[in-house]
Amino acid sequence: MLHTKIPQIEEIIEEAINQASLSEEPQFISIVNQIEYTDSIAFLDRARNVDKHRLFWQSADEKFTLAGVGSTKKILSSSSYRFNEIEAVWNELQKKASVYDILHEKGTGLVTIGGFSFDTEQSNDSPWENFPDSQMTIPMYLLTNKGSQSFLTTNILIFKEDHKQQIVHQILNDHEQLLFGEREELNLPIRVNREDLRSVDWKKTVEDATEDIKDKALEKVVLAREVRVKFRQDVELAAVIQKLCETQMNSYVFAIESGGDYFVGATPERLAKVDNQKLVSTCLAGTVQRGHYPEQDRQLGDALLNDPKNRQEHEFVVQMIREAVEACCFNVEIPDEPVVYPLRNLQHLYTPVTATLEKGYTLLDVVARLHPTPAIGGLPQQKSVDYIRKNEQLNRGWYAGPLGWFDGKNNGEFAVAIRSALIQKNEASLFAGCGVVEDSDPEAEFEETGVKLKPMLSVLGGY
């Protein structure tokens, strides 16, 4: 049961209505309560009967999960200064909000969850019509799970004409549904069709890119392709997220529901995390599949560590992230050599980065400097983005963009939205890319993207 008693909520709402009348401005209130442990997938599933804007984030390296429902405030931007604009709106909102929180736990209270498109100059047309260029959402209700503890945040915008009892009644009804409501059995989708879009054209684009790289037009470019799949019935969001959490334990599992569409994924690639001014970033580039047995697995990993193309690709990422982090941090530590990072289906070259964030800088400052990394864009940064915009065979939308969360206590984390799918009722677009350098082989790169598609395909109707 909730630890907060009903009169306390009534008093908070009444005070906010009075303040809204006096100031002639709506009042943003945030109420945090510790509750009995609540399963995040169950919360996400029950939320479909409360609001059609659901959000989910599960960390890859700690027992930390966010599940949000509803939208008390959306922070939007479509300009090239989108990170700064969203930061400015967020800071102003924090100044005016009334937060009722005696617990001060990470990821509670004022928390915003969302993401950014890969490229601001690429239009958000098909299939991304329901996803603005940049959208960070403060959910109406947020379940935060840390280990075995659960916290429920309620965020409400109060207007002077609001009726206290009506709002309190709505909040309590929503709490009851989200925490104790009836559920139906979750079913994974049954796939009936798969189409690799423009696969021949894509291989030709890779071939052309290798020639352009040889001609010194750029050093490296990451080219992505799209697979379109269709299902027998509309996809259930909670079923997909549950399966991803069960099968992709070393990945960040995420979901953003917008306009009836779901952008979901299980990405291994952290962009940046800030916790008490401590920054952690990740260099993840260079890929090979897992072996069928331990000795083959080890051999594949050793071959990855000693492969010149993959090592070069990885070093590009390391040097770029080093420069970006050193611009706003001190005590920067980066190992000299990468290690192999195993996932369920893949192995990657991995180098961790740790640092301390300089005073005055925020997580979004770091994200703005890092995006896009050479692992998802290329080098030089702007030339590779221009090349992708001109030559790639798809509209990336939020694919390979920064996606994550941050709170009012300067904590937060963003990952790179790869290993992902845009689900639209009974259809979905899946995306995967590869780093192209001068000696890349189009057929080999096509096969690599096929391996990268497996985590999502295995959940969305099998291989």
Query: Which residues participate in catalysis according to the annotation?
Result: 220, 269
Strands 261-267 and 329-333: unpaired
Task: Collapse the DSSP code of 274 into the 3-class scheme (helix H, G, I; strand E, B; otherwise coil) and give the result.
Answer: strand
CA dist., res. 189 & res. 26, Å (int)? 42
Q: CA separation (Å) from 424 to 101, 229, 232, 291, 461? A: 37, 10, 13, 34, 15
- Bridge partners for 155 per DSSP: 30
Contact 224, 419 (CB under 8 A): no
Whether residue 265 contacts residue 421, with contact meaning beta carbons closer than 8 Å, is answered with: yes
Q: What are phi and psi of 276, to 5 degrees?
A: 55, 45
Q: CB neighbours (10 Å) of residue 190? A: 12
What's phi and psi for 446, nearest 5 deg? Answer: -60, -40
Backbone region of residue 441 per phi and psi (left: phi > 0; alpha: psi in -120 to 50; beta: other values): beta
Of 399, 434, 429, the closest CA to residue 288 belongs to 434
Structure-token pair, residue 296:
């083959």
Q: What angle is formed at CA 135 by the lines to CA 133 and CA 138, rounded to 5 degrees?
A: 175
Given a contact cutoff of 8 angstroms between Cβ atoms, the answer to whether 268 and 341 are in contact is yes
Counting Cβ atoms within 10 Å, is residue 294 exposed (0-12), middle (13-18) or buried (19+)?
A: exposed
The DSSP H or E segment spanning 415 is strand 412-416
Distance in angstroms (rounded) separating the CA atoms of residues 184 and 437: 49
**Helix/strand/coil (H/E/C) assignment for every residue in 122-147:** CCCCCCCCCCCCEEEEECCEEEEEEC
Strand ranges inside 198-291, DSSP E: 220-231, 252-258, 261-267, 270-275, 278-289
Residue 334 phi, psi (nearest 5) = -140, 120
> Whose structure tokens read 């259809």?
427
Contacts with 333 (C-beta within 8 Å, 6 or more apart), sequence order: 353, 354, 355
Between CA 385 and CA 122 the distance in angstroms is: 10
